[in-house]
Amino acid sequence: MLKSVCCMRLPTAGVIVGYLGLAGSILLTIGSACVIGFANEIVNNLEPPKNVDPSSHEEMRMAVVIIGCVYLGGAIISIMASAMLIIGTMKNRHLMMLPWLVLNGLGLFSKSVYNLVLVYAVFQYPAQVAPIFIMSMLSLALYAYIYAGIYSLYKHVQMSNDEQRPLVREEGAHESTTYPNYTKL
């Protein structure tokens, strides 16, 4: 487990990563909304103006709208996960960090699969794909390092919460539930 991420303590790195994810997700939300709103203009710039079939124009417009909606939905989910990471880090609630870990774990897996496809492409077209492959591998390494740091923060907060709230009751202890109370933010 890591003790620090980029020379920052784990809680500080968790808050900074959360705010950066929040800012990026907000920008992606704005961009996706603009793509959906200006779908006709985007399609008009994509296809050549001569011999335009109205049905193909409508199909391309629908594809642009669907892609924009998928990105918009992902950005909204990412906003919620980043906000929960920030709150979970500040309040020492490990379960609030879990959505960010799951979402970015899926992202890490998909990036790894993408890099495997790039390995195949490097052997087919080495001159064209090699720079893309190198940048993609560097970004995967950074992504994995940040993920490992947030996972270390999650485990650290989980262990500290388990030490504060033992599940085994002492003799004569009050008969109440032993699970943590997450209703107070």
Summarize pLDDT for 72-111 with one digit per residue, the tens. 999 999 999 999 999 999 999 999 999 999 999 999 999 9
| CA 105 distance to own-chain centroid | 8
Q: φ and ψ at 8, to 5 degrees?
A: -120, 150
Residue 38: pLDDT band (50, 70, 90) is very high
The predicted model scores a pTM of 0.80
Check the CA dihedral 122-117-70-13 and report its sign.
Answer: negative
Neighbours of 11 (CB within 10 A): 14
pLDDT of residue 163: 77
